Amino acid sequence: MKTYIVGNWKMNFTVGESSIYLHKLLKKITPKKGLVVAIAPSTIALQPLSLQIDRKKIRLAAQNCCGKDYGAYTGETAVSQLRGLIDFCIIGHSERRFVFNESDKMIREKVAACVRNGITPILCIGETESERAFGETADVLKDQISTGLADVSREDLDKVIIAYEPVWAISSVKGAKVAVPDDISSSIDIIRKHLKDTYGKSTDETPVLYGGSVNPSNCGAYLTIPGVNGLLIGGSSLIADQFNDIIEIAKRVTA
């Protein structure tokens, strides 16, 4: 199983700043077999960075896409338009769900569109603080998996990555807390059991990432949790030294 380190830049960096930062990263990062590093810059930066990137070191991911392949959808970007530029696409991030009110239907369509177009979707799931407090974590995760993967066949399950990002642990959320490994481990068990129960086969080949206030000081502990195959990183991916430190720790932990 490969290990994935994915940096979500969110709405940061201009195209020029993105290019300069990528140049710094490319000089720092050394590739390792079995470790996949990806960055998700703003959509406007994907095309120019695709000409600059060394795919032996870093892959590109989109932060969002449209669930339609073409048509009258002003302001949207189809996955079919991103083919050749990206390998991954982040779908259903909590900021898309709660800030932009993306529905389960929209997320399901986006996941299916990625699979249909040969792009690996990174489906983000996670409970809020109130859902956690009321003991609803398992129900929320199962529901988000079931709805997000509703149009994914049993044969295509291995073409999907799931990222567990508890909303209460995302650093950009007011009052965010740092998740301890025990919290994450129980949720990873729920995710993998539900996948197995739903698809009726081993889900060992379905990567599950963790995201939520990941930094160089805690990433090693997260990567040693059974069933965790990588990390989805926000703030620390915007600082070249920190992001590279996480990559180097991942190399050692997964060696």
**98-151: pLDDT as tens digits:** 999 999 999 999 999 999 999 999 999 999 999 999 999 999 999 999 999 999
How many angstroms separate the CA atoms of 21 and 82, rounded? 22
In the chain, domain spans: 3-253
The mean pLDDT value for 75-83 works out to 96
**pLDDT band (50, 70, 90) for residue 199:** confident
Among candidate residues 93, 95, 109, 127, the one labeled active-site is 93
pLDDT at 177: 75
Catalytic annotation present for 194: no
Residue 93 appears among annotated catalytic residues:
yes
CATH of domain 3-253: 3.20.20.70
Q: Considering 109, 165, 205, 248, which one is annotated as catalytic?
A: 165
Q: How far is it, in rounded angstroms, from Cα 126 to Cα 229?
A: 17
DSSP state of 155: G
Q: Alpha-carbon distance 36 to 195, whole Å?
A: 23
